[in-house]
């Protein structure tokens, strides 16, 4: 009784074990093996029904073990896949990190590029403003160029119409050949005092009077050409009686004042034992001495008012021999006056009257007899006209170019 009462307890233990075993089969293969051993010991020599049940259980167990093995294999494969995925994930994370680093660098570069772009935009704005300013300056310069071109065109027309501007001076009109530079400055100032440039028109400076005087002093005039030079030389206003030697013998002036009322000019009644070139040299030197003594400076540096006063002193013989020299001041003043006027109104071929400004100023026609420019006037018409006719002047050079040398000499042109 005691043995039979214990068997059901074993059966319950078996069921409990199977339940437990069934729950842990999927956990480990070793537990399954232990269960088989256990069942084999328990069932021993049971009846065929039990054997069939055990066999069925064994089959199920085998199936379960096979499934477990497959599951384990799948698990192993899954773990291998997970490992590979983990490795790929690690690589991906590394690539992502590198990508993020590259992105960070790209963002930094973009930031720097944006800053440079902002700077360049500012510079472009500045350059645009400068370009606008330069465009305005260029436009202004082009307007000035147009104006200058117009002036050049006008001057070119004047030069073409007045060939004497080129022909008369032979390329050396602006250089003195006799006077020194300081002497030339004094002569220029003297001539401008006598014929100044003012609202009435051009004066001695524009007419080139300096160059007329300079060339005259370099030629026959300056060397007393065709002038009687042996003497005697008696200074104007010399009291008599007196006896002087001459090439023909002694000459006696018995009474009165010699040449008391003579005002000579341009060599007329010239009574100096020196060439006119030296007369001008000594006269200029004496003038500078007097200008410094009486007015505090060289003549060419004085104001226009002081220059005029100084020249008037010479005409009035105010300078004494101590402040001038052996040349009589009025003689020098008269010579300067005559030569200045001659340079202002003589034909331009002699170096003065440039552009015929002197003739235009004084309404002198030069060689225009009434029809040089197609005016259609005859000499008779000009002579009998009740009012003077002002003609555009014509120089000797223009006249000769118009008719030709053969025409001037009587042949056909």
Whether residues 208 and 312 fall in one domain: yes
Counted domains in the chain: 3
Q: Is residue 137 part of a domain?
A: no
Task: Look up the pTM and report it.
Answer: 0.54
Cβ proximity of 184 and 219 under 8 Å: no
CB within 8 Å of 2: residues ≥ 6 apart: none
Name the nearest CA neighbour of 357 among 190, 152, 210, 165: 165
CA distance 18 to 57: 10
Q: What are phi and psi of 242, to 5 degrees?
A: -155, 155
Q: Is residue 283 part of a domain?
A: yes
Q: What is the pLDDT of residues 240-261, one digit of tens each?
A: 677 776 666 777 766 555 554 4
Secondary structure (DSSP) of 191-242? HHHHS--BTTB--HHHHTHHHHHHHHHHSTTTTTTT---S-----TTEES-E
Is residue 191 scored above 90 in pLDDT? yes
Question: How many CB atoms within 10 Å of residue 232?
Answer: 16
At 376 the pLDDT is 92
Name the nearest CA neighbour of 164 among 390, 370, 366: 366
Whether residues 120 and 189 fall in one domain: no
Is residue 359 scored above 50 in pLDDT? yes
Whether residues 378 and 328 fall in one domain: no
Whether residues 298 and 194 fall in one domain: yes
213: its two tokens: 């005087």
Whether residues 296 and 333 fall in one domain: yes
Name the nearest CA neighbour of 212 among 174, 241, 165, 262: 174
Whether residues 342 and 394 fall in one domain: no
Domain of 55? 46-124
Q: What is the pLDDT of residues 29-84, one digit of tens each?
A: 444 444 545 455 554 545 566 678 878 888 888 888 888 888 888 888 888 888 88
Is residue 342 scored above 70 in pLDDT? yes
Please report which confidence band the pLDDT of residue 156 belongs to, taking 50, 70 and 90 as the band edges: very low
Whether residues 185 and 324 fall in one domain: yes
Question: How many CB atoms within 10 Å of residue 158?
Answer: 11
At 69 the pLDDT is 85
At 392 the pLDDT is 93
Q: What is the pLDDT of residues 274-317, one digit of tens each?
A: 899 999 999 999 999 999 999 999 999 999 999 999 999 999 99
Q: Is residue 3 part of a domain?
A: no
């Amino acid at each position: 009784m005691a043995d039979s009462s214990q068997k059901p307890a074993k059966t319950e233990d078996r069921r409990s074990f199977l339940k437990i075993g069934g729950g842990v089969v999927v956990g480990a293969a070793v537990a399954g093996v232990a269960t088989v051993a256990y069942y084999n010991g328990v069932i021993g020599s049971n009846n065929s029904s039990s054997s069939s049940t055990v066999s069925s259980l064994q089959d199920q167990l085998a199936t379960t073990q096979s499934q477990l093995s497959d599951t384990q294999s799948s698990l192993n494969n899954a773990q291998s896949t997970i490992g590979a995925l983990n490795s790929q994930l690690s690589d991906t994370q590394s690539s992502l990190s590198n990508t993020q680093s590259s992105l960070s660098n790209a963002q930094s570069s973009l930031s720097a590029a944006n800053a440079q772009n902002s700077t360049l935009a500012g510079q472009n704005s500045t350059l645009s403003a400068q370009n606008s300013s330069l465009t305005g300056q260029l436009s202004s310069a082009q307007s000035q160029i147009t104006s200058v071109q117009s002036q050049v065109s006008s001057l070119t027309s004047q030069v073409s119409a007045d060939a004497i501007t080129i022909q008369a001076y032979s390329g050396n009109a602006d250089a003195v050949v006799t006077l020194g530079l300081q002497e030339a400055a004094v002569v220029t100032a003297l001539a401008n005092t006598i014929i100044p440039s003012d609202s009435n028109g051009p004066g001695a400076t524009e007419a080139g009077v300096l160059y007329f005087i300079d060339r005259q002093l370099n030629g026959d005039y300056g060397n007393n050409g065709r002038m009687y030079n042996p003497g005697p030389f008696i200074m104007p206003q010399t009291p008599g009686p007196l006896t002087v030697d001459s090439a023909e013998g002694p000459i006696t002036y018995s009474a009165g004042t010699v040449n008391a009322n003579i005002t000579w000019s341009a060599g007329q009644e010239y009574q100096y034992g020196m060439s006119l070139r030296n007369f001008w040299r000594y006269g200029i030197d004496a003038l500078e001495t007097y200008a410094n003594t009486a007015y505090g400076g060289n003549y060419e540096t004085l104001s226009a008012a002081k220059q005029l006063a100084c020249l008037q002193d010479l005409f009035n013989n105010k300078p004494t021999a101590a402040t001038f020299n052996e040349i009589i001041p009025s003689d020098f003043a008269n010579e300067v006056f005559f030569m200045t006027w001659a340079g202002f109104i003589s034909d331009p071929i002699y170096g003065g009257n440039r552009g015929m400004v002197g003739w235009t100023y004084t309404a002198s026609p030069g060689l225009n007899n009434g029809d040089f420019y197609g005016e259609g006037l005859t000499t008779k018409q000009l002579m009998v006209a009740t009012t003077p006719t002002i003609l555009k002047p014509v120089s000797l050079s223009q006249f000769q170019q118009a008719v030709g040398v053969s025409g001037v000499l009587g042949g056909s042109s």
